[in-house]
Amino acid sequence: MNAPSTGSPGAPAAIAPRRRVLFLCRQSGLFGGGQRSLLLLLRHLDRTRFEAVLAVSGRRELAEEASALGVPVVDLPLSAMRGFRILRLPRNAARLARFCRSERIDLLVAMRPALCLCALSARLLGGPPWVWNVRTSQDQGRIGRFLSRFASRVLLVADALRMRFPAIEGTARLAAIPNGVDPRDFEGPGRAESRSALGIPAEGAVAVVVGRVERDKGGDLAVEALSGLPGLRLAFAGREAEPLFAESLRSRSAALGFADRIHFLGEIPDLTRRLAAFDLLVHPSRHEAFPRAVLEGMAAGLPVVATDVGGTREALDEACGILVPPEDPAALREAIRRVLSDPDAARGMGEAGRARAFGTFDAARVARRYGRLFSEALGDSDPEARPCPLCGSREARALESDPPFWTVRCIACGLVYVDPVPEPDPVKAHYDDEGYYAEWVSTQAAARSRLWDRRLGRVRRVLVAGRLLDVGCADGAFLEKAKTAGFEAVGTEISAAAARLARARGLEVREGTLESAAFPDASFDGVSMWHVLEHVPDPVGTLKEIRRILKPGGRLFLAVPNLENAWFKFFYRLFRRRPERLFARGMKEWHLFHFTASTLSRALSAAGLEVEASGLDEPDADVRKRALEWPARAWFGITGRNRTIGIQVRARRPAS
Model-level pTM? 0.73
Q: How far is CA 59 from CA 40, 55, 56, in A?
A: 19, 10, 8
Question: CA angle at residue 580 from 579 to 582, to 5 degrees?
Answer: 125
Asked whether residue 496 falls in the same domain as residue 628, the answer is yes
Look at residue 383 and tell me if it is in a domain: no
State the CATH number of the domain containing residue 493.
3.40.50.150
In 10 A of CB 11, how many CB atoms?
Answer: 14
Asked whether residue 223 falls in the same domain as residue 138, the answer is no
Tens-digit pLDDT profile for residues 622-642: 556 666 677 777 777 777 787
pLDDT of residue 6: 33
Asked if 188 contacts 270 with a C-beta cutoff of 8 angstroms, the reply is yes
- State mean pLDDT over 419-433: 77
In 10 A of CB 157, how many CB atoms?
Answer: 27
pLDDT band with cut points at 50, 70 and 90 for residue 444: low
Asked whether residue 577 falls in the same domain as residue 623, the answer is yes
Asked whether residue 233 falls in the same domain as residue 271, the answer is yes
Look at residue 23 and tell me if it is in a domain: yes
pLDDT of residue 30: 61
Return the closest-CA partner of residue 45 out of 289, 361, 372.
Answer: 372
* Bond prior to 404 in cis (omega within 30° of 0): yes
Look at residue 90 and tell me if it is in a domain: yes
pLDDT of residue 56: 87
Tens-digit pLDDT profile for residues 268-314: 988 999 999 999 999 999 999 999 999 999 999 999 999 999 999 99
- Measured CA to CA, the distance from residue 143 to residue 636 in angstroms comes to 44
In 10 A of CB 625, how many CB atoms?
Answer: 17
What are residue 616's phi and psi, to 5 degrees?
A: -80, 145
Domain boundary among 341, 357, 373: 357
Asked whether residue 166 falls in the same domain as residue 222, the answer is no
Return the closest-CA partner of residue 268 out of 181, 210, 330.
Answer: 210
Domain boundary among 357, 379, 398: 357
* Alpha carbons within 13 A on the beta-carbon side of 210: 26
Q: Which residues pair with residue 550 across a beta bridge? A: 524
pLDDT of residue 11: 36
pLDDT of residue 257: 93
Q: How far is CA 579 from CA 138, 170, 382, 428, in A?
A: 26, 6, 26, 27
What are residue 551's phi and psi, to 5 degrees?
A: -70, 155
Domain count, the chain: 3
Asked whether residue 161 falls in the same domain as residue 191, the answer is no
Domain boundary among 176, 197, 225: 176
pLDDT of residue 2: 41
Strands across the sheet containing 396-402 = 396-402, 405-410, 416-419, 593-594
Asked whether residue 112 falls in the same domain as residue 255, the answer is no
Tens-digit pLDDT profile for residues 38-49: 999 999 999 999
**What residues have CB less than 8 Å from 61, skipping those under 6 apart?**
28, 29, 30
Return the closest-CA partner of residue 284 out of 340, 338, 322, 241.
Answer: 322
pLDDT of residue 109: 96
3-class DSSP state for residue 82?
A: coil
pLDDT of residue 140: 80
- The chain-wide mean pLDDT, for the chain, equals 87
- Measured CA to CA, the distance from residue 109 to residue 153 in angstroms comes to 10
pLDDT of residue 363: 95
Strands across the sheet containing 646-652 = 508-511, 488-493, 467-471, 524-530, 550-561, 646-652, 610-616
Asked if 404 contacts 586 with a C-beta cutoff of 8 angstroms, the reply is no
State the CATH number of the domain containing residue 321.
3.40.50.2000
pLDDT of residue 8: 35
- Residue 290 C-alpha from the chain's centroid: 14
Tens-digit pLDDT profile for residues 573-604: 666 666 777 877 777 788 999 999 999 999 99
- State mean pLDDT over 391-412: 84
Tens-digit pLDDT profile for residues 372-395: 889 888 888 777 778 899 998 888
**What residues have CB less than 8 Å from 31, skipping those under 6 apart?**
212, 239
What does 334-386 look like in DSSP terms, one character per residue?
A: HHHHHHHH-HHHHHHHHHHHHHHHHHHTBHHHHHHHHHHHHHHHHT---TTSP
- Measured CA to CA, the distance from residue 609 to residue 230 in angstroms comes to 73
Tens-digit pLDDT profile for residues 216-235: 999 999 999 999 899 899 99
β-strands 233-237, 304-307: how paired?
Answer: unpaired
Q: Looking at the predicted structure, is the pLDDT value of residue 539 above 90?
A: yes
Asked whether residue 479 falls in the same domain as residue 586, the answer is yes
Return the closest-CA partner of residue 372 out of 388, 384, 361, 387.
Answer: 384
Asked whether residue 543 falls in the same domain as residue 502, the answer is yes
588: buried, middle or exposed (CB in 10 Å: 19+, 13-18, 0-12)? exposed
pLDDT band with cut points at 50, 70 and 90 for residue 435: low
Q: Looking at the predicted structure, is the pLDDT value of residue 441 above 50?
A: yes
pLDDT band with cut points at 50, 70 and 90 for residue 479: very high
Look at residue 508 and tell me if it is in a domain: yes
- For the chain, the helix, strand and coil percentages under 3-state DSSP, each to the nearest 5: 40, 20, 40
Asked whether residue 505 falls in the same domain as residue 645, the answer is yes
Asked whether residue 444 falls in the same domain as residue 579, the answer is yes
Asked if 95 contacts 121 with a C-beta cutoff of 8 angstroms, the reply is no
Look at residue 548 and tell me if it is in a domain: yes
Asked if 278 contacts 209 with a C-beta cutoff of 8 angstroms, the reply is no
Tens-digit pLDDT profile for residues 167-209: 887 777 898 999 999 999 999 899 999 999 999 999 999 999 9
In 10 A of CB 638, how many CB atoms?
Answer: 7
Look at residue 420 and tell me if it is in a domain: no
Look at residue 11 and tell me if it is in a domain: no
- Residue 236 C-alpha from the chain's centroid: 32
In 10 A of CB 409, how many CB atoms?
Answer: 19
Asked whether residue 233 falls in the same domain as residue 170, the answer is no
pLDDT band with cut points at 50, 70 and 90 for residue 100: very high
pLDDT of residue 337: 96
Residue 41: domain span = 19-176
Tallying the residues shown for the chain, one arrives at 656
pLDDT of residue 4: 32
Q: Looking at the predicted structure, is the pLDDT value of residue 256 above 80?
A: yes
Asked if 152 contacts 131 with a C-beta cutoff of 8 angstroms, the reply is yes
pLDDT band with cut points at 50, 70 and 90 for residue 83: low
Look at residue 57 and tell me if it is in a domain: yes
